[in-house]
A = this chain, B = another copy of it.
Amino acid sequence: MEYLEAKEKFIGTWGSLGSLWGINKAMAQIQALLFISTKPLSMEDIMEDLKISRGNTSMNLRQLMDWGIVTKVLVSGERKEFFTTEKDVQELTRIIAKERSRREIQPVIKVLDDVSSIKDDGTDKTKELIKQTKALHDLSVNADAMLNKLVTQKQNWLTKSIIKLLK
């Protein structure tokens, strides 16, 4: 396999994986492209490489920046803006985990808390709703706490954690 084929395979796969996990294809592909690029890329570069429109590029770069995954960099002597992504996979994972927790898990925990706190009217179905949503609530809180714990340790969290768990 040559460079170009490998590059396209990587970017394509990353895009599909994104879709599978609720991240849009262009967004995932832009990140993948920056991830393997040796230098920051301009909007023009990205558009040309991925063959997507200016608007699409602009919107998805913005989202990636909102997530904290991509940053603007100034290239001296250049008027236009350039972009890079976080290059360290561990740091990248930390950012994504933290954001998904904040945006998606926390709000669900709140709902589960509300729902599992309704008044027990003595009926079976109410009891079941309370029991099951409480179980889900507790699991979510624990899993989220664990994820944060894992991911808050800057250095080698994954390796360290695996070692601990294997003991």
Contacts and interface: CB of A to CB of B under 8 A. Distances in A.
**Chain A contact residues: helix, strand, loop or mixed:** helix
Interface stretch (A40-48, A52-60, A145-153): A145-153
How many identical chains are in the complex? Answer: 2
A50 interface: no
B162 A129 contact: no
- Interface residue range, chain A: 35 or more
Nearest to A121: B3
Contact of A93 (B13, B111, B139): B139
Interface string A137-167: 0010011011001100000001101101111
Contacts of A7: 129
Interface string A1-37: 1110011011001000101111000000000000111
A113 to B, nearest CB: 11
Contact of A165 (B6, B10, B35, B146): B146
B35 A132 contact: yes
A125 to B, nearest CB: 6
14 contacts: A1-B115, A3-B129, A6-B129, A6-B133, A7-B129, A10-B112, A17-B108, A35-B136, A38-B125, A89-B135, A89-B136, A149-B166, A161-B165, A164-B167
